[in-house]
Structure 1
Amino acid sequence: MLRRGVPAASVTAVACAAIGLVPAVGNAAPAPGTATAGFSADPRLAAEQHIADLYQQAEALTQQYDADQESIGRLQAAVAAESGQSAAAQSLLARLSGGLGRLAAEQYRDVGDTSSLTLLFATHPDLYLQRAVLNDRVAALDAQQVQSARVLQAQLTSLRALGQTELANLQQAHAALVEQRATIEAELAQARAQLDSLGFADRHVVAEALAEGEGGDGFGTAQSVHPPSLGALLAAVNTAVAGSGGQADIDAGRAQRAISAAYAELGKPYVWGAVGPYGFDCSGLMQHVWAKAGVMLPRTSQEQASIGPPVPLSGIRPGDLVIYFAGRTHVGMYVGHGLVIHAPRPGSEVQFAALRAMPISKIVRPDGN
Structure 2
Amino acid sequence: MTRISRAPRHRTAAALTLLCALTAATQSPALAAPGPAPTTLDGVRRQLDDLYHQAEVATGKYNAADEKAKAQKKRVDALNAQVKRAEQREARLKDLLGATARAQYRSGGLPAEVQFALSPEPENALDDAALAGQAQRGTQQRLTALKTARKALRTRTAEATTELSALRASRRTMDGNRTKIEERITAALALQSRLRAKERRRLAELERQAQNKAQAAWVGTGILKQVGTRASAAGRKAIAYATRQIGKPYVWGAEGPDSFDCSGLTSQAWLHAGVVIPRTSEEQWARLPHVPVSRMRPGDLIIYFADASHVALYIGHGKIISAPRPGRWVYVSDAGSMQILGAVRPDTR
Q: What band does the TM-score fall into relative to the shorter chain?
A: 0.7 to 0.9
1:38-49 matches, within 5 Å, as 41-42=38-39, 44-49=41-46
Distance 2:89 2:319 in 1: 62
Q: Counterpart amino acid of 2:118?
A: T
Partner of 1:310: 291
Q: Which string of whole-angstrom CA distances, capped at 9 and with x for unpartnered residues, describes residues 135-173 of structure 1?
A: 433332221111011111111211222222222221121
Q: CA deviation at 1:326?
A: 0.4
1:202-281 matches, within 5 Å, as 202-213=199-210, 240-241=228-229, 251-281=231-261
Q: CA deviation at 1:68?
A: 2.1
Q: Which string of whole-angstrom CA distances, capped at 9 and with x for unpartnered residues, describes residues 210-250 of structure 1?
A: 4444699x9x9xxxxxxxxxxxxxxx9xx954xxxxxx6xx
Partner of 1:196: 193
Q: CA deviation at 1:46?
A: 5.0
**Change over 3 Å in CA distance of 1:47–1:28 after alignment to 2:** farther
Q: Counterpart amino acid of 2:306?
A: A
Q: 8 Å contact 2:115–2:126 — kept in the other structure?
A: no
Distance 1:106 1:316 in 2: 75
Q: Percent identity?
A: 33
Q: TM-score, normalised by structure 2?
A: 0.76
Partner of 2:21: none
Distance 1:121 1:294 in 2: 68
Q: CA deviation at 1:267?
A: 0.6
Q: TM-score, normalised by structure 1?
A: 0.72
Q: Counterpart amino acid of 1:84?
A: A
Distance 1:337 1:177 in 2: 37
Q: 8 Å contact 1:213–1:354 — kept in the other structure?
A: no
Q: 8 Å contact 2:97–2:136 — kept in the other structure?
A: yes
> In the alignment, does 2:95 pair up with 1:98?
yes
Partner of 1:225: none
> In the alignment, does 2:127 pair up with 1:147?
no
Distance 2:178 2:244 in 1: 29
Aligned residues: 309
Q: 8 Å contact 1:58–1:181 — kept in the other structure?
A: yes
> In the alignment, does 2:118 pair up with 1:123?
yes
Q: CA deviation at 1:114?
A: 8.5
Residue range with higher mean Cα deviation, 196-205 or 269-278:
196-205
Q: CA deviation at 1:259?
A: 2.5
Alignment gaps of 5+ in structure 2: 1-27, 216-223
Partner of 1:335: 315
Alignment gaps of 5+ in structure 1: 1-18, 221-235, 242-247
**Change over 3 Å in CA distance of 1:50–1:90 after alignment to 2:** same
Q: Which string of whole-angstrom CA distances, capped at 9 and with x for unpartnered residues, describes residues 71-124 of structure 1?
A: 22222222222222222211111111112212333444577x8969x9499535
**Change over 3 Å in CA distance of 1:48–1:142 after alignment to 2:** same
Q: 8 Å contact 1:255–1:293 — kept in the other structure?
A: yes
Partner of 1:13: none
Q: Counterpart amino acid of 2:51?
A: L
Q: CA deviation at 1:368?
A: 4.4
Q: Counterpart amino acid of 1:48?
A: R
